[in-house]
Amino acid sequence: MNRHHLSGRDWTALLVYVSMLVDGYNLTVITPALNPLKQAFAASPAEVALLASSAIIGNFVGAIVLGRISDYMGRKYVVIIDVMIFAVGGVLSAISTDAFQLIIFRFIVGLGIGGDYPVASAILMERSRGGSSSNVIVGRLGTMWTAGFVLSVVAGIALSGSGPESWRILFLLPVVPSISVVLLRHFILEPVHPSRARKNYLADLSSLFTGRQLTLTVFGSLFWFSFDVVQYGITLFSPSIIGTISGQSGSAVLYSAGVVGMIELAGTLCGVYILSFVTRRSLLIIGFMGIMVSLLCMSLVRDVLAGLLVIAVFGFFAGLSPGILEFIFPPALFPEGLRGFGCGISNSASRLGAIIGIVVEPVLSALFWPGAVFLFYSMFAVLGIVSTFFLAPRE
């Protein structure tokens, strides 16, 4: 019986990890796809901005709505709904015939991903044994998300010579693993019985915004918001940023972005290991400090090699703690019956940060000197440090 229970736990974790891998790929695949899309649709600057951010906007809506539904009807069913939504959205994206259609279909993909963020972390937190093992199990979500980003860059490199329609294949690739999660859905174990969450559900919502819980709700939203301003601004525009620093173009820039992604992936693995020895609060402050220093250095360096080294250091610290703690901290901040909704609030706040990061990067780069955008991002790293120092629970 115990072996069967552990097997179910392992299957649950495996399938949730696969869904998060697909999330990371789907959100960042726009990075290698953006140039082919500009050519295919002769997209205007406004359309380019919407193509880059439509999935994030969908993510904002899906996190709150589907996170709340998961508290009411159970985590397992929402995981399946999430995956089905972004599988359908991926197929529709791949067959889009104009920029407007693609913007709508990418929004649909984002809806599914938005539900997956709070539900994935909640389901793993509730099925883990607690303690440091819980940090490891949930923290691997950050590793899988980053692996999805790396795979999107690798796919972009592999298809870079496939012509102007290569973006269709990029959007279609994650559909197969998404379908596999749906087909294997009976292996996912429900951690919370829905009737427990339904009891006094509507009356309990206000508890997230009163007393000590309000402080935790603000912290969960603020630190994730701060990180995603930086993370998405740099991640989605990493080819242009690296191109500006190094003078490279084309596939060479994608190779450099892939290397930075690999370094961030290594950072997530180190962060999961280090959590066995330091508190989550301490590691989050260390990560934000590393991000802040690297961003300030990026705003000043003029040497190509030094610039690439600094952006690699940024990637490592981004993965080291905020990249994994954005999944670990939120489910630990909210009571079981409201965990999906609480995590959804935090995730939606982070999407606002992502939209700011995406919109501001090209504007600042065009209006000011190249380093201005890094100074702007560094202010949000400072905000992350301050919010963690004063609001994060002490362990």
- Rounded to 10°, the helix 211-235/280-300 angle is 40
Distance separating alpha carbons of residues 102 and 100, to the nearest angstrom: 5
Distance separating alpha carbons of residues 330 and 325, to the nearest angstrom: 8
Q: Which CATH entry fits the domain spanning 2-186+207-391: 3.30.70.60, 3.30.460.30, 1.20.1250.20, 1.10.10.10?
A: 1.20.1250.20
Distance separating alpha carbons of residues 234 and 14, to the nearest angstrom: 29
Q: What is the pLDDT of residue 6?
A: 45
- Rounded to 10°, the helix 339-367/99-127 angle is 140
Q: What is the pLDDT of residue 228?
A: 96
Q: How far is CA 215 from the centre of its chain?
A: 23
- Sites in the chain below the pLDDT cut of 50: 1-6, 200
Distance separating alpha carbons of residues 338 and 190, to the nearest angstrom: 16
Q: What count of Cα atoms within 13 Å lies in the side-chain half-sphere of residue 280?
A: 26
Total-model pTM: 0.91
Q: What is the pLDDT of residue 368?
A: 74
DSSP E strands in the chain: the ranges are: none
Q: What is the pLDDT of residue 294?
A: 93
- 144-194: pLDDT as tens digits: 999 999 999 999 999 987 878 889 999 999 999 999 998 888 888 776 555
Distance separating alpha carbons of residues 176 and 22, to the nearest angstrom: 10
